[in-house]
Amino acid sequence: MNTVRSGLRELDDRTLSTFARSELPHFAGERGTFLKSPFTENVHDIADVEVAIFGVPLDAGATYRPGARFGPRGIRRATNLFGTYSYELRVDLREQLNVVDIGDVLTIPGNLEKSFDIEVLDAGFVPGTGWPEPGGLLPARR
């Protein structure tokens, strides 16, 4: 039985989407997008996308300095102040690249292996991260 009640799946259902579309922690929700780019909910519909931005709200590596989980929201909020046009190059980033924001990865503090088990959609994608967490490149390198 795979029904949804109150945004949570039944306990019998052991599957969990990497990119959750149910109740998220308050620090993982969407508050604007990266460079005001379009938000795409279905990550399987990004075949023609050149750059897909996603956040990893996780606070597991720095016990003495928490707050990295707020990084994706802060970066999105900060980039909303930026323009995409370069006066020196006379180029608008949004006209040259197809950029979308695909939201935040559902991070499971008790099961980081599942959190980092992101499906690779296309061999042409190159992972990169702006993750401020110590060890932040680990999921991108896997």
Q: What is the DSSP string of 83-138?
A: --EETTTTEEHHHH--EEEEEE----TT-HHHHT-PPP--TT--------STTTTH
pLDDT of residue 130: 58
The answer to whether the beta carbons of residues 28 and 69 sit under 8 Å apart is yes
Range of the domain at 39: 4-118
**In a domain? residue 136:** no
Residue identified by tokens 């499906």 is 119
Tokens of 37: 């780019």
Please tell me which residue, 7 or 73, carries the higher pLDDT value: 73
**Domains: count for the chain:** 1
Task: Answer yes or no: is pLDDT of 5 > 50.
Answer: no
Interval 51-56 mean pLDDT = 84
pLDDT in tens, 32-50: 888 888 888 887 778 788 8
Q: How far is 5 from 27, CA to CA, in rounded Å? A: 22
The amino acid present at 84, given as its one-letter code, is T
Q: Give me the sign of the Cα torsion angle 6, 119, 42, 112.
A: positive
pLDDT of residue 67: 83
**In a domain? residue 126:** no
Tokens of 71: 């990084």
**In a domain? residue 94:** yes
Model confidence at 126, in pLDDT bands (50, 70, 90)?
low
pLDDT in tens, 79-109: 877 888 888 989 888 888 888 888 888 877 7
Interval 122-137 mean pLDDT = 54
What stretch of H or E contains 8? strand 8-9
Which residues, 6+ apart, have CB-to-CB distance to 17 below 8 Å? Answer: 106
Name the least confident of 15-24, 48-57, 73-82: 15-24
Closest CA to 53 of 71, 65, 67: 71
Interval 127-142 mean pLDDT = 52
**In a domain? residue 137:** no
**In a domain? residue 128:** no
